Amino acid sequence: MSEQTPTSEQQPTGGREPEAGRGLVRSLSDRLSGAISQVAAAGALIVVFIVLSIIAPSFLTADNLFNLGSQTSVKAVMAVGVTLVIITGGIDLSVGSVAALSGVVGVMLMATFGFNPLIGVLGGIVIGAAAGLVNGLLVSMVGLPPFIATLGMLSVARGLVLIVTGAVAVFGAPESFRLLGQGVIGVVPIPILVIVVVALGGHFVLTRTRLGRYAYVMGSNSEAARLSGVPVKRHTTSVYVLSGALAGLGGMIAASRINSGQPNFGEGLELDVIAAVVIGGASLFGGRGTVWGSLIGAFLVAVIRNGAVQLGINTFYQNVLIGVIIWLAVWWDRYQRRKLGADSG
Amino acid sequence: MIRITPELVDAERGRFAVAESVRSHEGDVPLAVRLTAVSKRFPGVIAVSEVDLGVAAGEVHVFAGENGAGKSTLMKMVAQIEAPTSGTIEIGGKPVSHQGPGAARELGVSMVHQEFALAPDLSVAENLFIGQEPGRFGWVAKGRERRNARELLARVGLDIVPERKVGSLSTAQQQRVEIAKALAVDAGVLILDEPTASLTEGEGRELFGIIGELCRRGIAVLYISHRLDEIFEVGDRVTVMRDGAVVETSPVSELDEARLVRLMVGRDVDNLYPRTHTELGPVRLSVSGLSRGGQVRDVSFDVRAGEIVGMAGLVGAGRTELARSVFGAEVPDSGTVSLDGKPLRIRGPADAIAAGLGYLTESRKDDGLALQLGVDKNITLARLPMWSVLIDLSEERELTQRHRDNLRIRTPRTSRPVRMLSGGNQQKVVLARWLEAGAEVLFCDEPGRGMDVGAKSEMFAELDSLASQGRSIVLISSYLPELMNMCDRILVMRAGRLVGEVAREEFSEERIVALATGAKDNHE
């Protein structure tokens, strides 16, 4: 159980607590603090969903929901990776470009070199992981700030996409590749299955493995982690590799949905992904965040974008809306922390 | 009424004459600073209590005393950084009410802190006139700024061009810039807070020359110091403070080192330290010839099983750096560390931990605890209970509850974030981490810091019981009673070197302070 998860455990009885009276209140609010962002985000998601169902007749249709699910899956999968990075106190700005790179390379593996779709998808993921490895090494070994390391990769990966494709979309993947983004097993769309698998895996990594545990510790106090024998550099690198790999997977899902590798795919996508993670309650200062929260955030962002399209609202306004939501979410995070007297950060 | 004229304060002997005249005619002399019944209370603490004092123009007045004696608080009140709770402060004969550091500047009071307040990316000239740039309407008169800067730099004996970036200067040079900056406001009163702490001996000597020069121009220098040798070298008079009150003010010529030491430390020693004595076992940790970057120089010592060894020394003497080097937080330049006779290869904290070392850091907040995370996650940080590649959560829960009960960590549930715990309980969490990691030799850096008396004595009882179980403990503390009560032996460091070892039978505060400050050991 991570600390953000509210539990039904007994409240402290006070007793020998140093701050007996206030202790109860503080403990309660403390346990809710992480969850509050998620509860707020989930509430917002439900409200937006209901409102859209009422005012946009085309919103609550099977077709649109299917579409929504597969749209969300791209962002949700990427958000899981970025959550890990943000928990360590880092940031990954490169996920949009990396997803595009993975998408075009993956499709080229299938279309140009004739590999089967499984190899194509794996190839895309490996490309993403490689980009993540570069990010990770720049942060952990070279000592660049994560913002700069991944900002550079944002540009480098996009440049590589344009070089590889000559700025022309790549087509010609086999029909079966479309299953990843458009297929259904029974009544469940495959992209939704992918979200479930990635989210469970991400949650598992965060709560049950060294990597996840150390991510929280490094984000909370990296020097304390180092002095407790945590191999900070190695785990920092791993986190960026995972983020890159999941960006690669997101890129492959997107490529499958549009059945091509688009060189301009994912421009600005990093903002939606980071917004999702932040809306989900992760702290940009590190040490806090959950997969579930980011998932809710990803759905919220996707529903807003999708709903806006259904209502015929211009993309430009969507961008404004998403930006405002980022402000609100981060303000909320800081406000909560200050109220709890957590620290001055 | 005696006027202080430049003739009177002329040259070396002149400074003496000032001090003499101040002493014999106190009350008549126009004083640069006069304090009357000045007190400062913080919630629960009286930091400064009823201080009466006069400092004459042209005098170097040293303030001595242990950490927490109230020297810095007193100086901050003179510099208008803090407001006194009661009492009056007169500067240049005029009573002042607290109006902030800006007002102090107009009064001609400047304070140079231990931590420099310089902008490293700006030039020396720009730094000197921050907030009072020459020129009008938002324009900075660069030419005038440079000219004035050159003049100020000459006064502090600094031969550099004013265009140099401050960041490119040495520590000693930066300090001179700070002093010049203080003089830029036409200061009549200059406060220096342990100015030699970060200087080499030669640089310190040069600084004393500058200070003498400033005094000859009639500036009153208030000088906080821990170091006995320099008190006699630079001071005209000394005020010794203890527990917020002035113990004595007298000309340095009427003091000797032994008497000064007694004034500084002379206090009843409380019996807060539950130390039981056990037979010492064989040598466990052996450090030999350890050096690192000038902060730790050729240090060798042994610690035996069941022993608590104290590390005394002034702040900056290299004790923390020594602990960090042994522990691998910093990789030493040379030297060996062995445990139970086996030399260790320590490339980082992980190696040290695996070998059986532990390190309670000086600052729990900065490098000890992940404050947002739970007690449990902090306890298992150095050794996670694993079940293959997975964290064994039920084992983690059990063992953290066990530690909580054993160490009496007051938290209802072990998942509570440690930032919500009191200082004493936080320290116990760190201790539990090292016990869980199997530490046999524990470095404890100021373990009692920021704790109240009860929590402290509990902490020390815990250390005592660890020692009696055969563990070895190195206790770093700046508070001598802690060391003298808890330790079997005290090692004293000065300027990176181990300068002495005092056995329990020979413990005396005078002896340890003398070693730490480099005073001649002449009190016996």
**CATH class for domain B285-517?**
alpha beta
**Section A319-344 average pLDDT:** 71
For residue B268, what are the contacts with CB-CB under 8 A and spacing of at least 6? none
Residues of chain A contacting B, Cβ within 8 Å: 1, 3, 9-13, 15-18, 26-27, 30, 207-210, 213, 216-217, 220-221, 223-231, 287-288, 342-343
Do the first three CATH levels of B1-108+202-266 and B285-517 match, i.e. the same topology?
yes
Assess contact for B60 and B223: CB atoms under 8 A: yes
Residue A142, judged by CB atoms within 10 A of its CB (0-12, 13-18, 19+), counts as: exposed
pLDDT of residue B283: 94
Strands B109-112 and B189-193: parallel
% of chain A exceeding 90 in pLDDT = 61
Is the pLDDT at B138 greater than 70? The verdict is no
Spell out which residues of chain A touch residue B348, defining contact as CB-CB under 8 Å: 226, 229
| pLDDT mean over A172-188 | 90
* Alpha-carbon distance B370 to nearest alpha carbon in chain A (angstroms): 5
- Percent of chain B surpassing pLDDT 90: 35
Does B371 contact A26 at a Cβ distance shorter than 8 Å? no
pLDDT at B493 > cutoff 90: yes
Which positions in chain B have a beta carbon within 8 angstroms of at least one beta carbon in chain A?
327, 329, 348-350, 352-354, 359, 361, 366-374, 377, 381-382, 384, 386, 389-391, 393, 410, 412-413, 415-417, 419-420, 422, 425, 433, 437
Q: Judge contact between B487 and B497, C-beta under 8 A.
A: no
Rounded to two decimals, the ipTM of the complex is: 0.82
Note the pLDDT of residue A204: 94
Q: What residues of chain A lie within 8 A of the CB of B381, using their CB?
A: 217, 224-225, 228, 230
pLDDT at A26 over 70: no
Q: Residue A102 pLDDT more than 70?
A: yes
In this prediction, residues B411-427 reach a mean pLDDT of 86
Q: Which domains does chain A have, with CATH numbers?
A: 71-330 (1.10.3470)
Question: Picking from A314-318, A338-342, B235-239, B382-386, which range would have the lowest pLDDT averaged per residue?
Answer: A338-342
Lowest mean pLDDT among A4-13, A258-267, B60-69, B412-421: A4-13
Q: Find the mean pLDDT for residues B159-177.
A: 85
**A294 in Cβ contact with A282 (< 8 Å):** yes
Question: What is the per-residue pLDDT for B126?
Answer: 84
The residue in chain A having the minimum alpha-carbon distance to the alpha carbon of residue B436 is A228
Give the CATH H-level superfamily of domain B1-108+202-266. P-loop containing nucleotide triphosphate hydrolases (3.40.50.300)
pLDDT tops 60 at residue B26: no
Nearest-CB residue to B367 (from A213, A217, A227): A227
Q: What is the pLDDT of residue B10?
A: 40
Mean pLDDT for B249-275 is 73
Size of interface A-B (CB pairs under 8 A): 106
- Buried b / exposed e over A17-53, threshold 16 CB at 10 Å, is beeeeebbebbeebbebbbbbbebbbebbeeebeebe
- Among A66-75, B204-213, B342-351, the range scoring the smallest mean pLDDT is B204-213
Percentage, residues of chain A above pLDDT 70: 87
Enumerate residues 6+ apart whose C-beta is below 8 A from B405: none
Cβ distance of A342 and B393 shorter than 8 Å: no
- Over residues A52-75, the mean pLDDT reads 89
- How far apart CA A64 and CA A57 sit, in angstroms, is 11
Q: How confident is the model at residue B272 (pLDDT cuts 50, 70, 90)?
A: low
pLDDT at B136: 59
Which of the two residues, B522 and A7, has the higher pLDDT score?
B522
Q: What is the 3-state secondary structure (H, E, C) of chain A?
A: CCCCCCCCCCCCCCCCCCCHHHHHHHHHHHHHHHHHHHHHHHHHHHHHHHHHHHHCCCCCCHHHHHHHHHHHHHHHHHHHHHHHHHHCCCCCCCHHHHHHHHHHHHHHHHHCCCCCHHHHHHHHHHHHHHHHHHHHHHHHHHCCCHHHHHHHHHHHHHHHHHHHHCCCCECCCCHHHHHHHHCEECCEEHHHHHHHHHHHHHHHHHHHEHHHHHHHHHHHHHHHHHHCCCCHHHHHHHHHHHHHHHHHHHHHHHHHHHCCECCCCCCCHHHHHHHHHHHCCCCCCCCCCCHHHHHHHHHHHHHHHHHHHHCCCCHHHHHHHHHHHHHHHHHHHHHHHHHCCCCCC
* Domain limits, chain B: 1-108+202-266, 111-185, 285-517
Percent of chain B with pLDDT over 70: 87
pLDDT of residue A34: 54
The chain-wide mean pLDDT, for chain B, equals 83
The tens digit of pLDDT for each residue in B276-300 reads: 877 889 999 999 999 998 899 999 9
Q: What is the pLDDT of residue B270?
A: 45
pLDDT exceeds cutoff 50 at A10: no
Residue A57 has pLDDT above 90, yes or no: no
Contact B416 A30 (CB under 8 A): yes
| Beta-carbon separation of B368 and A224 below 8 A | yes
- pLDDT tier, A33 (very low <50, low <70, confident <90, very high otherwise): low
The pLDDT value recorded for residue A344 is 32
In this structure, which amino acid lies at residue B341? Answer: G
Using a CB-CB distance cutoff of 8 angstroms, which residues of chain A are in contact with residue B391? Answer: 207-210, 213
Model confidence at A274, pLDDT cuts 50, 70, 90, reads very high
Tell me whether residues B410 and A17 touch, CB distance under 8 A.
Answer: yes
Q: Is the pLDDT of residue B17 over 60?
A: no
What backbone torsions phi and psi does residue A185 show, to the nearest 5 degrees? -110, 115
B2-16, B183-197, B393-407: least confidently modelled range: B2-16
Q: Among A115-124, B202-211, B444-453, where is mean pLDDT lowest?
A: B444-453
User: What's the pLDDT tens digit per position in B93-120?
Assistant: 888 877 777 777 778 888 888 777 888 8
Query: Mutation test of the interface with chain B: which of A33, A228, A235, choosing the one with the most B Cβ atoms within 10 A?
Result: A228
Transcribe B378-442 into DSSP letters.
HHTSSS--EETTEE-HHHHHHHHHHHHHHHT---SSTTSBGGGS-HHHHHHHHHHHHHHTT-SEE
In contact, A227 and B367? CB cutoff 8 Å: yes
Report the sign of the C-alpha dihedral through residues B65, B68, B70, B72, in that order: positive
Q: Kindly report the nearest CA distance between residue A149 and chain B, in angstroms.
A: 24
Q: Between A141 and B102, where is the model more confident?
A: A141
Select, from the ranges A209-218, B119-128, B272-281, B416-425, the one with the highest average predicted confidence (pLDDT): A209-218
pLDDT at A12 over 50: no
A113 exposure class (CB count in 10 Å sphere: 0-12, 13-18, 19+): exposed
- Look at B413 and A12 and tell me if their CB atoms are within 8 Å: yes
Partners of A227 on chain B (C-beta within 8 Å) are 327, 329, 349, 359, 361, 367-368
- Chain-wide mean pLDDT for chain A? 86
CB contact under 8 A, A3 and B348: no
At A44, the pLDDT band (50, 70, 90 cuts) reads confident
* For residue B271, pLDDT beyond 70: no
Please report, for residues B45, B96, B447, the alpha-carbon distance to residue B36 in angstroms, rounded to integers and kept in the order given.
Answer: 20, 12, 37
Mean pLDDT along residues A251-280? 93
